[in-house]
Amino acid sequence: MTHYAMVIDTRTCIGCTDCVDACRMENNVPEGLCYDWVVEVTTGRYPDLKTEFRSERCNHCSHATCVEACPTGASQYWNGSNIVVVDATKCTGCKACIAACPYDARLIMQPQGYIGKCTFCVQRVQYGMDPACVAVCPAHAMHFGLLDDPTSNVSMLLAERKNYTLHPETGNQPNVFYLR
């Protein structure tokens, strides 16, 4: 399997939501919806504080429960990779995938009614380009690449730096990693 991963450095992420903006523009995301979002986590008491920003989205899981839950095959892996996409022409809008996603990363598109989500900008990835969110990040905090390749930027960052994923306990094997 071609194994793509996104690696986000929480040390340099400034929570500016440029990733959200660039995704919405690139993918013509309708008003009121978004495929990625930013979470702020502040811990401690003034003045001993820690604030972390996390740009979150579909984790393009290696073991995607949404793909398994889809009764029509609309939710699928793209081109033998771990990139999860929805073929709208097969999607009935039944929302089984929404219930199966541990990350709340799927949306009902308006007005068509099919299920929309982050595609890692597969229309760009097919040409070897980074997803729009990664390409725009003004803090250079986001990285994208192949985990199969040990010399890729993402593989090296994960080897060098402590990191974590969201909800690893589900067994979904998420592929969005956060550097501490």
Site string for another protein, 70-109 (x = CB under 8 A): --x-x----------xxxxxxxxxx---------x--xxx
The C-alpha R_g of the chain, in whole angstroms, comes to 16
Question: Using CB under 8 A, which of 5, 7, 18, 176 touches another protein?
Answer: 18
| Long-range Cβ contact pairs of 40-44 (< 8 A, separation 24 or more) | 40/15
Q: Which is nearer to another protein, 43 or 171 (CB)?
A: 43
Angle made by CA atoms 19, 60, 154, in degrees to the nearest 5 = 70
Q: Which is nearer to another protein, 1 or 14 (CB)?
A: 14
Stretch of residues binding another protein (CB under 8 A), selected from 62-70, 111-119, 148-156, 167-175: 111-119
User: Minimal distance in Å, beta carbon 6 to another protein?
Assistant: 16
Report d(CA 17, CA 38) in Å as an integer.
6
Stretch of residues binding another protein (CB under 8 A), selected from 44-52, 61-69, 156-164, 167-175: 44-52
Paired strand residues for 42: 51
SS3 75: strand
User: Minimal distance in Å, beta carbon 150 to another protein?
Assistant: 22
Question: Using CB under 8 A, which of 5, 6, 24, 143 touches another protein?
Answer: 24
Closest CA to 4 of 100, 107, 126, 86: 126
- Residue 13 CB coordination number (10 Å): 20
Question: Using CB under 8 A, which of 122, 146, 158, 166 touches another protein?
Answer: 122
For residue 174, give every residue at least 6 positions away whose Cβ sits within 8 Å of its Cβ, in sequence order, or none: 59, 60, 61, 103, 165, 166, 167, 168
User: Minimal distance in Å, beta carbon 10 to another protein?
Assistant: 10
> Which residue ranges make up the site for another protein (CB under 8 A)?
11-12, 14-18, 20-22, 24-28, 31-34, 37-38, 42, 44-47, 49-53, 56, 72, 74, 85-94, 104, 107-114, 116, 119, 121-123, 126, 135-141
